[in-house]
Amino acid sequence: MNLIEKLKAGAVLLDGAMGTCLEGGGLPAGSPPELYNSLKPEEVEKIHRGYVDAGCDVVCANTFGINPFRYADCEQMIAKAVGIALRAADGKAAVALDVGPTGKLLRPIGDLPFEDAVNCFKRVISAGVSAGAELIFIETINDLYELKAALLAAKESCNLPVFASCAFGADGKLTTGASPEAVVALAEGLGADAVGLNCSLAPSQMTETVKKLYACASVPVIAKPNAGLPQIADGKTVYDVDSQTFCKDMLQLLKAGARCVGGCCGTDASFISGLKKLLKGFTPLPVAQRDKTTVCSYTHALEIGDYPVLIGERINPTGKKRLKQAIQEGDFAYILGEAAEQAEKGVHALDVNVGVAGVDEKKILTEVVAAVQAVTDLPLQIDTSDPAAMDAAMRIYNGKPLVNSVNGKKSSMRAVFPLVKKYGGAAIALTLDENGVPPTAEGRIKIAKRILREAKKYGLKKSDIVFDTLATAVAAEGGSATAALDSLRYIRGRMGANVSLGVSNISFGLPDRDAVTAAFLTMALSHGLSAAIVNPYSDRVMGAYKSFMALSGKDKNCMEYIDFASRDAQPREAPPAAHTGAEGLKRSITRGLKEDAARLSAELCSTLSAQEVIEAHIVPALDEVGAAFESKKIFLPQLLISAEAASAAFDAVKPYIKRVGTGKKLKIVLATVRGDVHDIGKNIVKTMLANYGFAVIDLGKDVPPEKIVRAAAETGAGLVGLSALMTTTVGAMESTVKLIKKQLPHCKCIVGGAVITAEYAAEIGADAYGKDAMQTVRYAESIEKLL
């Protein structure tokens, strides 16, 4: 019986600890256990054999800490470790390649790029497979994104069974915030054969998390706890739970739904023998098929089903001039502002679409998805018709994505279904095909059935598809709303699948659109709509949703409705007369009143040219604040508050600017140098420069010198600004300056950051030292004058 069959038949017994057992046998604390594979292979084999003799079904090779970041010869080390485990198992137990975390944190929090993590895991897994491992056991992962990298690597390098086990904390979450439901959604989506938790906690601390995992998992649940918490006694680490207590508490975990059990730090063969006895005659809870449509972000899961959810539609350039412009100009701040604001309005997920003619959609979509995920923890709906862009965005998305969309056309299904299968997503399926949108419900239902049949050929389930029965302009075709609603009711009721609608389209071409859209949303919800793509800024539409939830009893005690209605009722203060016009604009910038600044500058554009508003009002106000900062009358936060208000004013003026490229000639490249991940200072400089009208190309943090030089050359930048905050990275700053001076002798260089001084700047050959953001602005202005 192979392992997967065993898992189907009943509980599976895993092994216990390796590292802490080796420490007990003389390995000095803090020295890596994997070194013993070469130094004392007989010790390692003895520990494995102890577990095999205790009756375990799986032994994990001593490979936890081996990866290419730590060891150049990781392949040989893995081969050796797996060889030892195979010898010890001797056919009596399956040998797992034990895959631990990389030891680095992925971007955006850490400095490890996602693909580097995937490649690191691929090397480890390929080596394990070649060495004869029979199972990939990914364990002790505490970041959902890293779990995704490891599972993807496993899927792309082998066909072996894969177990995914995370180190949940006592708070029931991973250290980067992921819930058990999110872990299950992601791991199952990426094809894990079992999912669970190990390390960090004693068995008694795991019960709640095991229950949560079991409640949503359609694969077996793993529990591999520590023997309690480590304590230091007489200079040695000991764990505070003995094997008897351990087994007693493990029974609770088994009853809560665990099916694969073993021990982590502090356990030994006696614990596994105890578990063996416990499992004799024990029947674990069944592995149930949940058949739920679930997607997740890096923190939480979102179920699409009986509780209708809202998806914000604002990050979609169709019919939105300002967003189109933002996408073309790479103005992420505007896009992220939309993300944050929609989240504030209470939607459950965000649609992200950057389809604008002439942009590299694959590149922009992945960048925007990553950037939006840095601002909000809402799940995203990746919205594109370009399969290459969809592939890339699904890959780097931190979580299990919803994709928008596939349709009944053969070419569409051929392109999208493999991606949904591979990355574990859920797809919105439009009920249209080569012949367009059927005018009747029957036609749409027919396509839905065909889509479902085809999806199953790719190994997808009904729960992986959310049908969209297409809301099209009722003004253009009288029957369009009925067709959408009738097919919605059929698909929900008879086919048992979920349905989503982009409700706003229904009112296209009509006056007072929100009234029609809100009524349609209410109708669709009462027909069983699972998800609605909406404009969350419309109070009427949001009100319709909140009312429906209250009326249908889904909003218990109407709490959410009351919250919504009272938030809306907050009085808005009218500005005093003195705070209007040009004076008011100046005041709003110096005092940092963002909304006033935006409103007043837009108002001024009706009487003045955009250029005049900027040059005669916004910049002078900013200058006044800058001068106050330079003379230490105000401090950095106040300067930034004003800068934000000025940004809002610029943004409001932007649509009135006729010719593109007004403002300054000088282009400026900014970057935090290689090895340094601090970028608050650099971002402040960027904000100020942008406010003064300079075109800023921000390369982010931890940027290698070559990339900075390339960007400066490609954009024709006349100035490069470099930031470093750490003593260890000033070396990188020096080499970057040298490279710039060598390859782009006419490009100026200004450096700054906590550890940089004017003397040091001169010493490494920089043209200037920027003590703070204002000084950098002044320097940039002096260069601009020479152009």
Q: How far is the CB of 173 from another protein (least distance, A)?
A: 8
What string of DSSP letters covers 341-401? HHHHTT-SEEEE----TTS-HHHHHHHHHHHHHHH--S-EEEE-S-HHHHHHHHHHSSSB-
Hey, what are 672's tokens?
Answer: 């935090």
Distances (CA, A) of 388 to 79, 369, 394, 404, 419: 36, 15, 10, 14, 10
- Residue 764 CA, chain-centre distance (Å), reads 39
Q: Can you tell me the distance from the alpha carbon of 311 to that of 160, in angstroms, rounded to the nearest whole number?
A: 37
Of the pair 285, 375, the CB lying nearest another protein is at 375
Residue 777 to residues 354, 517, 586, 666, 783: CA-CA distances in angstroms?
A: 32, 48, 20, 12, 10
Nearer to another protein, 5 or 171 (CB): 171
Closest to another protein by CB, 114 or 332: 332
Decide whether 331 or 539 has the Cβ nearer to another protein: 331
Q: How far is the CB of 678 from another protein (least distance, A)?
A: 7
Q: Are 673 and 724 in contact (CB under 8 A)?
A: yes
Burial class (CB in 10 A: 0-12, 13-18, 19+), 56: buried
Q: How far is the CB of 694 from another protein (least distance, A)?
A: 16
Rounded-to-5 percentages of helix, strand, coil across the chain: 50, 15, 35
Name the residue among 729, 622, 638, 642 with its Cα closest to residue 679. Answer: 729
* Residue 239, C-beta contacts closer than 8 angstroms, at least 6 positions apart: 20, 226, 227, 228, 229, 230, 231, 265, 266, 267
Residue 713 CB, nearest approach to another protein (Å): 25
Shortest distance, position 645 Cβ to another protein, whole Å: 10
Q: Which is nearer to another protein, 680 or 758 (CB)?
A: 680
Q: Give the DSSP per-residue string, 96-156.
A: EEEE---SSPBTTTSSB-HHHHHHHHHHHHHHHHHHT-SEEEEEEE--HHHHHHHHHHHHH
Q: Of 254 and 777, which has the nearer Cβ to another protein?
A: 777
Q: How far is the CB of 9 from another protein (least distance, A)?
A: 33
Q: Which is nearer to another protein, 291 or 595 (CB)?
A: 595
| Minimum CB–partner distance for residue 419 and another protein (Å) | 27
Only one residue has tokens 């059929």, namely 490
Q: What HEC string does 708-754 produce?
A: HHHHHHHHCCCEEEEECCCHHHHHHHHHHHHHHHHHCCCCEEEEECC
Cβ–Cβ contacts within 10 Å for residue 660, how many? 9
Q: Cβ 517 to another protein, closest distance in Å?
A: 28
Phi, psi of 721 (to 5 degrees): -110, 125
| Nearest to another protein of 70, 741 (CB atom) | 70
- Rounded least distance, CB 237 to another protein, Å: 6
DSSP 608: S
Q: Which is nearer to another protein, 54 or 737 (CB)?
A: 737
Q: Is the CB of 19 or the CB of 189 nearer to another protein?
A: 19
Q: CB 315 → another protein: shortest distance, Å?
A: 13
Specify the residue, 507 or 776, whose C-beta has the smaller distance to another protein. 776
**Site of interaction with another protein (CB under 8 A):** 29-32, 101, 103-105, 108-111, 140, 142-143, 167, 169-171, 174-177, 199-200, 229-232, 235, 237, 332-333, 336-337, 340, 371, 374-377, 592, 632, 635-638, 640-641, 643-644, 674-680, 683-684, 687, 702, 726-729, 732
